[in-house]
Amino acid sequence: MEERRKLERFKLRLPTILKVESQNGEPNKNIINLKTDNICSGGAFFNTSSPLPEGTKVKLSINLLKLKTSIEEQPIIKICGKILRTEPAGMAIGFNSQYKIVTLSNK
């Protein structure tokens, strides 16, 4: 099978907090802790036995796990995305182009 991806993927298991975006503006309490299976600048795949429906909009906080720093200084990517594909092993999330890199102490 020919590889169709245009962006280089990295096999990284990064802890991620996923929040489902609310449809009606109310705070959403649907928070899921996952780890990336692989990631690139355009999105990530998450192994899960309970993938969300395609088209679901989500907010992600991806911990970059910088070693030798305090928890408060851990760099985190804050980004929004959408479920692009689901399969029995998990789900693929496409990222939008706007993101922030913050630490827990200034998030």
E strand or H helix at 69:
none
Could you give all domains of the chain from N- to C-terminal order, each with its CATH number? Answer: 15-106 (2.30.110)
Instruction: Round the CA-based radius of gyration of the chain to a whole number and report it.
Output: 14
Angle at 60 between CA 55 and CA 65, to 5 degrees: 145
Angstrom distance (rounded) from CA 16 to CA 87: 19
Angle at 89 between CA 80 and CA 7, to 5 degrees: 50
Which pLDDT tens digit goes with each residue over 1-57? 445 557 788 999 999 999 998 776 666 678 999 999 999 999 999 999 999 999 999
User: What per-residue confidence (pLDDT) applies to 68?
Assistant: 66
Band (70; pLDDT cuts 50, 70, 90): confident
Residue 19 has which token pair?
């929040």
Please name the residue that has the structure tokens 């600048």.
41
- Cβ 57 vs Cβ 28: under 8 Å: no
Q: Which tops the pLDDT comparison, 96 or 23?
A: 96
Residue 58 has which token pair?
């989500």
Q: Which amino acid is at 79?
A: I
User: What per-residue confidence (pLDDT) applies to 107?
Assistant: 58
